[in-house]
Amino acid sequence: MNPAGFAFLGAGIGAGVAVLGAGQGIGKLVASAIESVARQPEMAGGLRTTMIIGAALIEGIALFALVICIILATK
């Protein structure tokens, strides 16, 4: 296999790991938020806002990781 093939393979593995990490992070975030709302329903609005901000930050990091993988594969 030529070096370009290894670059694409590494980028694919890196992208997969980034997406798995983001999925687990958002899953843990949502699970914790739902558990908190179940304990204190009056805090639902604030927790929802905080959860959405956290999910957006996690998605931003995952997108950044995917872009880095694509850049390194095509370099």
Across all residues in the chain, what is the average pLDDT? 92
Q: What is the number of structural domains in the chain?
A: 1
Give the pLDDT score at 53.
Answer: 95
The per-residue pLDDT for range 8-52, each reduced to its tens digit, is 999 999 999 999 999 999 999 999 999 999 999 999 999 999 999
Rounded (10°) CA dihedral 50, 57, 52, 63 = -170
* Other CB atoms within 10 A of residue 22 CB: 19
- Output the domain CATH number for residue 50: 1.20.20.10
- State the pLDDT at residue 44: 92
d(CA 59, CA 57): 5
pTM of the entire predicted model: 0.81
Cβ neighbours for 57, distance < 8 A, ≥ 6 positions apart: none
Range of the structural domain that residue 29 is part of: 3-74
Question: Which one, of 54, 47, 46, 50, lies nearest residue 27 by Cα?
Answer: 54
